[in-house]
Amino acid sequence: MEKTLQVLNDLVRDGVLSRYAIGGAMGATFYAEPVLTFDLDIFVILPRTGSGLLTLEPLYDALRARGYTEEGECVNIEGIPVQFLPAHNDLLVEALTEAREVFYDQTPTRVMRTEHLVAIALQTGPDKDRERVRLLREQAALDREYLANVLTRHRLAGK
Amino acid sequence: MNKLDPEIARLITAKEQRRHKLAALPFAEKVRLVVKLQQMAAPVLRARGRPVAVWRLDDLKPVLR
């Protein structure tokens, strides 16, 4: 996975991505026990196109140029199917902006804060994500005050 | 409420402790464990008709101890 993350870091360096952060099941795995997943959810802030629209196409073009091909909704980067998810609402943009800088072995990367993973799972809502909330609440060190603030600001407090 | 059999209570406690121990592992170690989980789950999922691919890690070392 280190090579995969190095490719993502290269994309940021080259301006293809403004910023990225690991979320989803692998984000939760950073803080809690490992959970089964078959793709790596990478949330991204994309540079706006001239028309102001969000599109993954320049990112996919850059990956194709590096020899990485699409497999369904994912792109296989160094043996790992990566699903790129554009930050399409305020909560996701905040989660990306405030993601933690960490190291995977020798490679720097970014992982969303636990509190944002909880908030995103609550916002998304399917059973699998609810299970993620339970796991993070049970095993991860949550900043309760920070979480309450995030949930209130994004109108998730009652969920 | 029924009182738990001491042996069952011991097993539940041990399981909880193991889960917290797993949660405390370094990220790279956890990723290797996720791949182990994929290797275990993939044949079952494929048999159910769900095409899944086990990650090809460049640094897959034995981690279960």
* CATH code assigned at A84: 3.30.460
**What 3-state DSSP class applies to A84?**
strand
What pLDDT, on the 0 to 100 scale, is given for residue B1?
53
Query: What pLDDT was estimated at residue A11?
Result: 95
B28: nearest CB among A71, A105, A111 = A105
Nearest residue of A to residue B42, measured between CA atoms: A38
Distance CA A7, CA A80 (A): 12
Average pLDDT of chain B is: 85
Q: What is the pLDDT along chain A (159 residues), one digit of tens a residue?
A: 899 999 999 999 999 998 999 999 999 999 999 999 999 999 998 877 777 777 888 899 999 999 999 988 899 999 999 999 999 899 999 999 999 999 998 899 999 999 999 999 999 877 778 888 999 999 999 999 999 999 999 999 877
Q: Is residue A120 part of a domain?
A: yes
For residue A61, is it within any domain?
yes
Q: Give the number of domains in chain A.
A: 1
- Chains A, B: CB contacts within 8 A come to 66
Q: Is the Cα torsion angle A138, A139, A141, A143 positive or negative in sign?
A: negative
Structural domain range at position A122: 2-153
List pLDDT tens digits, range B5-36.
Answer: 888 888 888 988 999 999 999 999 999 999 99
Domain-located, residue A159: no
What is the residue extent of each domain of chain B? 27-65
Is residue A158 situated within a structural domain?
no
